[in-house]
């Protein structure tokens, strides 16, 4: 029987609650389709700091590298906000991305017809939205040196090398070829040197993709255009910090940040995680939406394990659950028939897979 080793990193806050639901869904779908998944759990984030004094022990990196794919929940929490940078939960995640060479973060944004009324945006604006944010993940201002805060003056540095821009641009153009053949590269080239290099390099890569229409947009305009007319976008190609911000903004078209999955690729192993964080304001209450994580597990099956049938079954089950009106509280403002907990939502999705 086909079998795969999955590194599981539950993390902090709602991380364990949502990853548990995803694993239970994977159990049902793998049995149904006929393959085996084995899991090894690793520590990262605040929980790792508490247990072993570092937000990412070496064995988390080694175990992830040795796996067929990594399934991750979320890290962070108020408790660890004032730690020195190297000890913060977020540093663990950034180190893992860097060590695994995950320079491309793909964040698809689609609107479920069933949830069109759940969004804070108007139905006629968001109906049919289907875009992909291709976010550079291991460079830019997140990683640039020098960086410093001496209490009187603080600075970070936004750095991109040409080769970093070339490789993320290729991911965006390759993605566009499989979708709507449009790339909108988002930068701040009217102000930043690094964006001028970004723009020139993206133009060069575009020459290899004559079928793809390339446009450029300044990030402030892009933030506005995303809520004015999101259907104009197919693939949004952008750097680390702009992609972080624009993808949270874009998530509200779908109705909740609890719906958006992501895959991080570029190295030998892919990492799959929801785009949201550890939601400390609702952690432990059993009300977090597990769908972003379950969809991340589906992306893992599709893109890292090539178990396309199983991924399709998960996606369909989620659609059916939403169609029948099941909603976690983040989506329950409008048209909820049944307001359910994290585990009840997982249970409904599993039942739909079993019945399929
Ligand atoms: P957040 O994404 O954790 O939460 C923002 C808001 O969205 C909160 O009101 C939260 O309750 C809600 N939310 C998020 N996910 C949800 C879900 N699945 N279901 C229902 N509601 C959900 O962002 P934040 O509050 O700015 O950050 C909290 C912590 O998470 C910080 O420590 C931050 O660094 C960390 N964080 C981690 C990741 C990650 O692990 N990849 C991503 C973003 C933020
Ligand atoms: C995300 C998060 C992370 C990021 C933080 C927690 C480091 O916001 O995955 O979107 O900024 O990349
Ligand atoms: Mn983010």
* Ligand 2 residue neighbourhood (C-beta within 6 Å): 76, 90, 93-94, 244, 275, 277
Residue of minimum CA distance from atom 44 in ligand 1 = 277
Cα(262) to centroid of ligand 1, in Å? 14
Phi, psi of 74 (to 5 degrees): -165, 160
Helices and strands of the chain, counted as H and E runs: 12, 14
Phi, psi of 190 (to 5 degrees): -75, -10
Report percent pLDDT > 70 for the chain.
100
27-41 pLDDT per residue, tens? 999 999 999 999 999
Which domains are assigned to the chain? Answer: 1-101+257-356 (3.40.718.10), 120-254 (3.40.718.10)
- In this structure, the number of other CB atoms found within 10 A of the CB of residue 33 comes to 17
- Please say whether the beta carbons of 78 and 280 come within 8 A: yes
Residue 214: both structure tokens together: 């390339």
Cα(15) to centroid of ligand 3, in Å? 15
Q: Which helix (H) or strand (E) holds 140?
A: none
Per-residue DSSP letter, 277: -
Ligand 1 pocket test: which of 279, 330, 344 has the largest number of ligand atoms within 8 Å of its C-beta? 279
- pLDDT confidence of residue 333: 79
What predicted TM-score, i.e. pTM, was given to this entire model?
0.97
- pLDDT confidence of residue 337: 84
Which ligand 1 atom lies nearest to the CA of residue 281?
11
Expressed in angstroms, the distance from the first to the final Cα of the chain is 22
For the chain, residues with pLDDT lower than 70 are none
- The backbone region for 155, taken as left when phi is positive above 0, alpha when psi lies in -120 to 50, beta otherwise, is beta
- pLDDT confidence of residue 184: 99
- pLDDT confidence of residue 19: 98
Q: At what angle do helices 342-355 and 15-33 cross, to 10 degrees?
A: 10
Ligand 1 pocket residue status of 74, Cβ below 6 Å: yes
Beta strands in the chain (DSSP E): 2-11, 35-41, 69-74, 104-110, 130-136, 148-149, 154-155, 182-187, 213-218, 235-238, 261-265, 270-274, 326-327, 338-339
Mean pLDDT of the chain: 97
- Cα–Cα distance, 276 to 252 (Å, whole number): 12
Cα(97) to centroid of ligand 2, in Å? 11
3 state SS of 337: coil
How far, in Å, are 3, 70, 102, 207, 302 from residue 7 at the CA level?
13, 5, 15, 39, 16
Which ligand 1 atom lies nearest to the CA of residue 248?
2
- Cα–Cα distance, 26 to 220 (Å, whole number): 40
Q: Which helix (H) or strand (E) holds 294?
A: helix 291-299
């Amino acid at each position: 029987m086909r079998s795969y080793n999955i590194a599981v990193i539950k993390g902090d806050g709602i991380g364990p609650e949502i990853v548990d639901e995803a694993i239970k869904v994977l159990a049902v779908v793998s049995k149904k389709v006929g393959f085996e998944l084995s899991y090894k759990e690793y520590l990262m984030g605040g929980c790792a700091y508490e247990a072993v004094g570092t937000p990412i022990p070496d064995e988390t990196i080694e175990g992830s590298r040795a796996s067929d794919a990594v399934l991750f929940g979320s890290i962070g929490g108020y408790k660890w906000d004032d730690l020195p940078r190297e000890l913060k939960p977020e540093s663990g995640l950034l180190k893992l991305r860097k060590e695994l060479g995950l320079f491309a973060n793909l964040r698809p944004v689609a609107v479920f017809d069933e949830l069109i009324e759940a969004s804070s945006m108007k139905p006629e604006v968001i109906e049919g939205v289907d875009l992909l944010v291709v976010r550079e993940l291991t460079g830019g201002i997140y990683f640039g040196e020098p960086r410093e805060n001496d209490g009187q003056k603080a600075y970070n540095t936004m750095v991109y090398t040409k080769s970093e821009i070339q490789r993320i641009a290729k991911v965006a153009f390759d993605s566009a070829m499989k979708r709507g053949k449009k790339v909108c590269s988002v930068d701040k080239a009217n102000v930043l040197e690094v964006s001028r290099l970004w723009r020139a390099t993206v133009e060069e890569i575009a020459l290899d993709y004559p079928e793809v229409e390339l446009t450029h947009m300044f990030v402030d305009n892009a933030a506005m255009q995303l809520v004015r007319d999101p259907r104009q976008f197919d693939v949004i190609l952008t750097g680390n910090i702009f992609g972080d911000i624009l993808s949270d903004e874009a998530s509200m078209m779908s109705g909740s940040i609890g719906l958006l999955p992501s895959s991080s690729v570029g190295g030998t192993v892919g990492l799959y995680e929801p785009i949201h964080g550890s939601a400390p304001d609702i952690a432990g209450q059993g009300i977090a939406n597990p769908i972003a994580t379950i969809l991340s597990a589906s992306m893992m099956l599709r893109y890292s394990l090539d178990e396309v049938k199983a991924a399709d079954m998960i996606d369909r089950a989620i659609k059916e659950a939403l169609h029948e009106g099941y909603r976690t509280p983040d989506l329950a403002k409008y048209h909820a028939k049944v307001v359910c907990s994290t585990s009840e939502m997982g249970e409904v999705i599993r039942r739909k897979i079993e019945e399929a």
